[in-house]
Every structure is written in C-alpha cells, then in structure tokens.
Structure 1
C-alpha cells in the first residue's frame, strides 16, 4: 500500500464507495488497498471469501470501512443482490470497477481449449462487465452520478498465439465503453477503460518466469492512480476514454528524464507529438490531465 503516491497527504477519494470485482488478488486487490489509502470505503467482490476477508482486514486496519461479498460475476442475480447489500451498508455506490478476469492461454485448436474454457472466458470477461454495469445503473442514476471503469488489455493491438479467446473477450470492451459513455454522459456517469500491458498477477501462472521477465510486466500497484484519477473531480469530466497504459507510460518515462519543473504535459507535448502517429497523439492529448495527475 506504500506504493500509492503521496498517500498520506491525499484523500482523493474520501468517503467514496468503490465496488471492485476480482478484488481477491492481482489488480483488484491492489486497487482495493490503494483506493482505501485514498480515503474510499471498499466493497470487495471475488470468488474466494478467505482472500477477500484478508484484504478487508487490511483496509479496516487503516480506518476505512469494507464489505466482502463472495460471488461469481457470471451470475447477474448475485451481482444485483451485492449492489443491494452495498446500498444497505453504505447508502451509495460511487465507483464500479469491472476488473474480474479469466484466461487460459491455449491456441483455439488445443485439446485443453474446451467449450467450458471458452464459456468461462467469455462469461467472465464480457458478461461480467455487462452484468455489473447494467445492475449498478439504477443506483447511480438515482444518486445523480458515478464512475464505471473496466480493465482491458493492450493484447488487443499486439496479437500473439494462445491469446485468441482472451483477446476476443477484451476487444468487446472497446465498443462497450465508448457506447455506454455516450449513453450515460447526460446522467453524470463517466465510463472509461484502462488497458494495461502485462501485469504480474496470478493470471500468469503456468508461464515460464524468464518469459514473463522478458516482457517487463507491471506490478498491480502501478495501476492504482490510472483508475483513481477517473473518480476525482477532474477525472470525472473525461468519459469514453480507452487508456493504453503502455503509451502513457512511455510519456511518463520521458517526462521523468526531465528536470522536476518540466515534468508536465506542457513540456512533453511536443515530444509526444513527434513520437506518436497523428491519430495516436489525438487520443493521447485527450488524456493530458491524466498524465499531469500521474506526474504530480
């Protein structure tokens, strides 16, 4: 939890309620702890209650409130009941993070790539965000706004053998995010997609360590501020953004090589315009507030 920037000084999410799926490990666990450090109360959702309760204890230890709800995001009614429990305990739901994910890296014609595996990937990675967003909307609309974030992947633009089904599932979140953002903009609900490059999580189990290291994976804690930004007053003005973390990290890396006083969007804008294609730069420019937030 110490990896969250300036965590002792910034209560960016004070008293907000964040409902996080896939919170038992990896990115979800890091987001739960990081958001709590920023002042939020957390609803932990995952399939293993023991893991959720361990994280809940850590969150409560720093003075935040938490609720653990074991469920599978493939079940719409369970999600609906979980939101009802959240409203009963906290009275609101400010942030939904559709983070639960499932993958098995088998080529499509592999004997182990069974219909059951296909079903599990699609139901978790596609129906999970769809069900969660659909079930939470009545609460967010009633309370006058909210933030919906989903976890995507840069594998979409970097095809590789074995990732066919996973890539298909994550690709669905692009159109989902952009369309839902347009539908909900007038109701003060911002919808955005965070697309990390490879992250060192339990999902990589089975991969050889030297292969993982060669891909220079991020740590889950590195992503906390990407998500937190969109729930802040400034970040809530942005919606429909597909945040390619790899590209943003390149800009952050360049900025960090500059003197401290030049580590801001204004001083890296020209470099970014020369580095990325015209279309890429157009998208990155929309995220200049995020970049300044990450560089603060």
Structure 2
C-alpha cells in the first residue's frame, strides 16, 4: 500500500485498534506519531514499532483538550514539516450499559467528549494544517453502532453516528481541496473496550457472536489493514465513505 514516508498521527494508539493501526502504518514504512493520554501504553506501541525497524514518535495528548491536539499537530509539523494522514481513533465506552432513562450524566458527557468532540478537534486542526499544505487525508474510526441502532448504549451510539455525519460533511466541504475524509466502522472487535463489556456482562459473549454471521469477533489487525488502505494513495477517488468491517453483522 502506498503510504511510504507519509507522516501519520494515530490517536488512542496505546492499545487495541489504535495500536494495531500505528503498527500497520509503520510496517508499510510510514512515519508514525503514536499519541495517547497513557504514556506507558503509548511507549509499548513505540517500542514494538522500533523493534521491527519502524519509525515512530511519541506525543502525548488528551483528545478532549483542544490545546493538547494543537500541541500534537504543531509538534508533528515541527518534527516532520507536514501532516499527511490524521487517524482519529481514540474512543471510550460508557461505564454502565443501561437503558436511556437510567443513563448517567457522567457516562453521557465522558463518551461524547472523547468520541465526538475529540474527533471534531482532531478533524478541525488537521484540516487547518492540510489546507496550508494543499493536501491531506483524514480517517475517523466510527463504528457499526454509528450505522444502526444500538440498545443500552445511547452515548456511544450518538457519538458514532456523529462521527459518520462529521466525516461526510467534511468530505463534501474539502473534496476540491485535495483532502479526503473517510470513516472506518468496525463491528464487534477484540479490544480493551469489548473486554471491559464482557468482563461485566459475560453472558453477552455468546449473544454477540450469535448475531455475527462469521461467528467470531474482528481482529484489530483486520481493522488496521482497512485504515491503511483507505489512507493510501491507491484510493485517491474515495472520500466521504463508511467502510464497514463487521463479519456480516449489518446483514
């Protein structure tokens, strides 16, 4: 895939899908900025990339803080002179999986802050830099929950539907500016987010697998491959799309 020497920021790259995305970009010879709010986890990703002769730089950031994303992008540009690809991956789920009437305000505000506002910050600030350059590529990590109803999960569903909408709006706005914006929508994927859900609701394991035609969860590497592909120069005529990787669940 054509991402060699591209400068790539991946948020939430300390674990799960984000770590897999960062490692896959490095595998394809991109220059990767590993960003996370957790320094220890981010360093683990960096160490693995470097152990495999990849190039990676650590810049810590909390995506809910605008100034952190400003710093993330300005430092990236100061080191590499540009930003080719922005992957807005950082995301969280609610602490409590309950119906809307019982939802906590804490869960609502926290999930929206990370999954929706954090993606907006990343998009807006990346776009400012990409407009200066005259080109760029943004990939937002949405979810199957942003394409279809998801019960007992209103903040997560709302945030991921928002990511899909923001992706399409920005893609339309910047299509003539040589800037592409797409979203990847994973279904149930092996990740810390899924592990947390199953740890508190173990009965959901078989229930979830029963609605997946392939009868298994996705693997982070499978999601990462799609992200690198959609961000590569081999897909220059694709923008505003949602690429769904869900083992057939949406069928």
TM-score (norm 1): 0.75
CA displacement at 1:100 relative to structure 2: 0.6
State yes or no: 1:228 paired with 2:220. Answer: no
CA displacement at 1:19 relative to structure 2: 0.3
Aligned length: 237
Question: What's 1:190 paired with?
Answer: 180
Question: What's 1:145 paired with?
Answer: 135
State yes or no: 1:129 paired with 2:119. Answer: yes
State yes or no: 1:212 paired with 2:212. Answer: no
**1:183 & 1:160 partners in 2: Cα distance?**
29
1:156 corresponds, among 134, 141, 146, to: 146
**2:202 & 2:7 partners in 1: Cα distance?**
37
Deviating above 6 A after TM superposition, structure 1's stretches of 4 or more consecutive aligned residues are none
Seen in structure 2, the aligned counterparts of structure 1 residues 86 and 201 have a Cα distance that, compared at 3 Å, is: same
3-state SS of the aligned residue for 2:109?
helix
**2:143 & 2:218 partners in 1: Cα distance?**
12
**2:110 & 2:170 partners in 1: Cα distance?**
24
2:30 corresponds, among 31, 40, 44, to: 40
Question: What's 2:101 paired with?
Answer: 109
Question: What's 1:239 paired with?
Answer: 239
Equivalences for residues 43-62 of structure 1 within 5 A: 43-62=33-52
Question: What's 2:90 paired with?
Answer: 100
Conserved 8 A contact 2:33-2:56: yes
3-state SS of the aligned residue for 2:58?
strand
**1:90 & 1:35 partners in 2: Cα distance?**
16
Q: CA RMSD in A?
A: 1.7
Question: What's 2:53 paired with?
Answer: 63
**2:150 & 2:180 partners in 1: Cα distance?**
32
**1:222 & 1:244 partners in 2: Cα distance?**
11
**2:99 & 2:37 partners in 1: Cα distance?**
26
The unaligned stretches of length 5 or more in structure 1 are 1-9, 251-275, 277-296
**1:206 & 1:192 partners in 2: Cα distance?**
27
CA displacement at 1:96 relative to structure 2: 0.4
Conserved 8 A contact 1:147-1:230: no
CA displacement at 1:210 relative to structure 2: 5.4
Deviations 1:178-201 (A, max 9, x none): 110011111111000111111111
CA displacement at 1:209 relative to structure 2: 4.6
**1:140 & 1:157 partners in 2: Cα distance?**
28
3-state SS of the aligned residue for 1:39?
coil
**1:212 & 1:31 partners in 2: Cα distance?**
25
CA displacement at 1:138 relative to structure 2: 2.1
Deviations 1:23-70 (A, max 9, x none): 011110000111100111111111110111111111122223211122
Whose relative contact order is higher, 1 or 2, with alpha carbons under 8 Å and at least 6 apart? Answer: 2
Larger Rg: 1
Seen in structure 2, the aligned counterparts of structure 1 residues 200 and 210 have a Cα distance that, compared at 3 Å, is: farther
Deviations 1:103-131 (A, max 9, x none): 11332333xx4222211100111111100
Question: What's 1:256 paired with?
Answer: none
